[in-house]
Amino acid sequence: MTGPLREPAGRPTAAGRIPWRVARLVEVRDETPSARTLVLEVPQWPGHLAGQRVDVRLTAEDGYTARRSYSLAAPTDGSRVVLTVQRVADGEVSPYLTQVFAVGDPVEIRGPIGGWFVWRPQDRDPVLLVAGGSGIVPLMAMVRARAAAASRAPFRLAYSVRTPGDAYYSEELRHRARADPGLDLTRVYTRATPPDWPNPPHRLGLAELSAVAWPAAFAPTCYVCGPNGFVESVADMLVALGHDPARVRTERFGPSGR
């Protein structure tokens, strides 16, 4: 979306529907050259679960609107909502959010949305998280929620990216994995690796996933998020390794005008 934006009004919705709320940007952090974390203040935010998402709506002065969904990147924290947005060059929403949107600016959001791809702090089963690219966002919310709740549920995270520069939350993940024996982290690079990395660039395959994942006999809950092809491949491999399809939860995204 180009051109000036109109001040959002937080328009009401019909009874029973999730209302639009006016949020304001209070903090920004660059994760990569093309991805930015946005911290929003949302009055009367009802709270959310790790893995849920929100809709973001932009309205131009001529009344044209554009709306996209973004996963929440952190657990519920009062009236604060955290998103990480990957810029898509020809998108209608993400270029504004990552290049123009400034601290103090308003934006309309609606949520939380979703109830299947979520992790709850009271869950005690082993958890496998498998992320491709920006699919790390809702899984990072789960990692952070686990830490915030001091949960002892064991987590394993496999994170696949093209290059080290494409990885989100690199330092935070490294610190958490070193400090928390209940969180195992495996990184996979498909195009370029860091200097002195022990393995050449490659895609996550069946043998490596078998080594990274919990044994199927442990009945872990598996969360897989990323591009369509990545999610389909990982979900199929998990089932081939004996995991119950009902315990393999997926969230995927494809080419869009984000």
The 8-class DSSP code of residue 99 comes to I
The pLDDT averaged over each successive group of 10 residues in the chain (258 residues) is 47 65 98 97 97 96 92 96 95 95 97 96 96 97 97 97 97 96 96 94 97 97 97 98 98 60
Domain that holds residue 54: 20-113
Q: Residue 165 domain-assigned?
A: yes
| Cβ atoms of 69 and 113 closer than 8 Å | yes
Whether 145 and 244 map to the same domain: the answer is yes
Whether 236 and 149 map to the same domain: the answer is yes
51 vs 123: CA distance, rounded Å: 14
End-to-end CA distance of the chain: 10
Of 144, 140, 133, 181, nearest to 157 (Cα)?
140
Number of domains in the chain: 2
Whether 137 and 228 map to the same domain: the answer is yes
Whether 108 and 131 map to the same domain: the answer is no
Q: What pLDDT score does 63 carry?
A: 87
Q: Residue 222 domain-assigned?
A: yes
CATH of the domain at 69: 2.40.30.10
Q: What pLDDT score does 2 carry?
A: 44
| Cβ atoms of 76 and 18 closer than 8 Å | no
Q: What pLDDT score does 16 carry?
A: 56
Q: What pLDDT score does 254 carry?
A: 58
Q: Residue 8 domain-assigned?
A: no
Boundary of a domain, candidates 113, 143, 159: 113
Q: What pLDDT score does 60 carry?
A: 87
Boundary of a domain, candidates 60, 83, 113: 113
Collect all residues with Cβ–Cβ distance below 8 Å to 208 and sequence separation of at least 6. Answer: 186, 188
